[in-house]
Amino acid sequence: MIIVLKNGTTPEQLREFSDRLSSQYQVQVNVWRGTQSTVLGLLGDTHTIDIESVEANEIVESVKRVQEPYKKANRAFHPNDTVIPVGDAKIGDGSLQLIAGPCSVESEEQIVEIARRVKASGATFLRGGAFKPRTSPYAFQGLREEGLRLLLEAKRATGLPIVTEIMSVSHIDLFRDVDVIQIGARNMQNFELLKEVGKLDKPILLKRGLANTIEETLMSAEYIMSSGNEKVILCERGIRTFETYTRNTLDISAIPVFKKLSHLPVIVDPSHASGIAWMVEPLSMAALAAGADGLIIEVHNDPQHARSDGAQSITPARFDALARKLFTLHRAVRG
């Protein structure tokens, strides 16, 4: 339930009213203060609340029941866009965030070299998988702890904050120095993992599952947020369709829908969406034009010999040319 308060409500009136609501109805009251209005978001069993009696209060402007099952991720609970600061970067503030790097961390030379190159082209984050979710148990599984150590080396060398995927609750302690933890598509509904990363004070890049709806994705964000961590970044990375030309089908329409339904930042992954290096550029441009806050792009210095996802990886030189186009497009669409 959403309660919009009248302009001019004093902090004392607000405190007294929200205390009364939480004790009378056993609900959690979230307060959102904007420049124009103050909104109370009530979580819990709100069915027993009598709307008319709440409306009768002198500080109440309007009361509305929220139909959607996601509450904290809902734009109604938080009308302004959420902005997530990480180091010098701010995700969701209208700037263009470029997360770039290899699918997998392979060696110190590889990750440091790629980090230096993508940073010089304007990337704001370094990506790289240490724990890899591979379809085949015989495929390269990632360098694991050693991969995390090498990512931190690359961070030391370049200053770029790092984004890397977690696959198991039992690895959480290993991720303490990681700047942004990725929940991969295959784990989007690993609810125990979502609850655990929800206890951290760290941004979470939540990828949409291969065959999950927009609402299911927002419910997974809700799991993280309801456990206490509101720093969630949504990631559209393509979904399974009947099309076989591309690895997945990039759901461009998910971008404006996420933006309409939620206040969380949206990042798009054109690499996993297409599976084809030459498609990364047009899909990146389309995603940015459709309102994405940033892109996560696989970049490899030797794609032909990459240990995973070489076919969809672009070279640092191609990333450089793409980044230039993206910054120009960003100026044109965001002003």
Q: Which residues bind ligand PEP (CB under 6 A)?
A: 103, 129, 133, 184-186, 207, 237, 269, 272
Compute how many other C-beta atoms are within 10 angstroms of the C-beta atom of residue 58: 8
Question: Which is nearer to ligand PEP, 155 or 208 (by Cβ)?
Answer: 208
Taking contact as CB under 5 A, which single stretch among the options 50-58, 79-87, 146-154, 309-317 is the one that binds Mn ion?
309-317
How far is it between the farthest Cα atoms of the chain? Answer: 69
The binder of 256, among Mn ion, ligand PEP, none, by C-beta within 5 to 8 A per type, is: none
Contacts of 305 (CB under 8 A, 6+ apart): none
* Residue 103: CB minimum distance to Mn ion, A: 3
* Cβ closest to ligand PEP, residue 207 vs residue 300: 207
Q: Which residues pair with 233 in a beta bridge?
A: 205
| Binding partner at 184 among Mn ion, ligand PEP, none, C-beta below 5 to 8 Å by kind | ligand PEP
**Using the rule CB under 5 A, is 188 a contact of Mn ion?**
no
Q: Which residues pair with 164 in a beta bridge?
A: 181
Q: Quick check: 309 binds Mn ion (CB under 5 A)?
A: yes
Shortest separation between residue 269's beta carbon and Mn ion, angstroms: 9
CA angle 98, 102, 103 (to 5 degrees): 110
Is residue 103 near Mn ion by the rule CB under 5 A? yes
Q: Which does 207 bind (CB under 5 to 8 A by kind): ligand PEP, Mn ion, none?
A: ligand PEP
Contact footprint for Mn ion (CB under 5 A): 103, 309
